[in-house]
Chains A and B, each alone.
Chain A
Amino acid sequence: DQQVKQNSPSLSVQEGRISILNCDYTNSMFDYFLWYKKYPAEGPTFLISISSIKDKNEDGRFTVLNKSAKHLSLHIVPSQPGDSAVYFCAASLDRGSTLGRLYFGRGTQLTVWP
């Protein structure tokens, strides 16, 4: 059962515009959310994160919003061709021996065209 869902498998955006990637989750016990970026033939790399008690976190061109129930989004402004990659949303539970375990969505392939 997929507890973290990314319902858009792909997104195409023109360079300079905003990219918005969405993520929904079903487990209300998740307390931390992370976004990872993955290029072909490489492992995922950490991008940005947010605690469940915060509604916004910014890091340069990247902003993660957590303002709706069981929904968060990643905003990239402005989008650049080098941002073209697969973006994974992940969530974590803060309890017990499984502390730190990440639950991933299926990913969204972002393509930024010139």
Chain B
Amino acid sequence: EAEVAQSPRYKITEKSQAVAFWCDPISGHATLYWYRQILGQGPELLVQFQDESVVDDSQLPKDRFSAERLKGVDSTLKIQPAELGDSAMYLCASSYSGTSPYEQYFGPGTRLTVT
């Protein structure tokens, strides 16, 4: 069964350092999402791509976060500089398209700890 791949699975970094996460969606899925899940809360959308274009980055802290999906396939999320409050699980999800039934397939996530 096809899966969303993410790496690394775990990342520990010091504050003010740069960190990057990678996601490879299910083949053929045009829509890709990055979510952040803080402990005890539900996932919150950071950025949504349709192919290589950003369609929603309203919740992305653009002063330190950036995301790209250059060829409309895999994607990278970057944080620079990292802050203590960025410690969270970063989840990538993909869907066949942005249309109903909105079913998204999630990767295993990257657990980020900022010290």
Binding site for B on A (CB under 8 A): 4, 6, 9, 32, 34, 36, 41-46, 49, 88, 90, 92, 94, 97-102, 104-107
Contact = CB atoms under 8 A, between A and B. Distances in A.
Interface in B59-106: 91, 93, 95, 97-106
Interface centre among B31, B99, B100 (most CB of A within 10 A): B100
Contacts of A6: 42
B1 to A, nearest CB: 11
A46 to B, nearest CB: 5
Given A34-B103, A41-B108, A49-B103, A99 B98 contact: yes
B25 interface: no
Interface of B: 4, 31, 33, 40-45, 48, 50, 55-56, 91, 93, 95, 97-109
Given A42-B109, A92-B102, A104-B43, 8 more contacts: A43-B109, A44-B91, A49-B101, A97-B50, A98-B48, A100-B48, A101-B56, A106-B41
Contacts of B99: 99-100
21 contacts: A6-B42, A32-B102, A42-B108, A43-B4, A43-B91, A43-B93, A43-B107, A43-B109, A45-B106, A46-B103, A46-B104, A49-B101, A49-B103, A97-B50, A97-B56, A100-B31, A100-B48, A100-B98, A101-B48, A102-B102, A106-B42
Contacts of A92: 102
Given A44-B91, A97-B56, A107-B42, A102 B108 contact: no
Contact of B45 (A9, A36, A101, A107): A101
Nearest to B38: A106
A102 B40 CA distance: 18
A32 B103 CA distance: 10
Contacts of A100: 31, 48, 95, 97-99, 102, 104
Nearest to A92: B102
Contacts of B102: 32, 34, 49, 92, 100, 102
* CB-CB nearest 4 A-B residue pairs: A104-B42, A43-B106, A100-B98, A99-B98
A45 B105 CA distance: 7
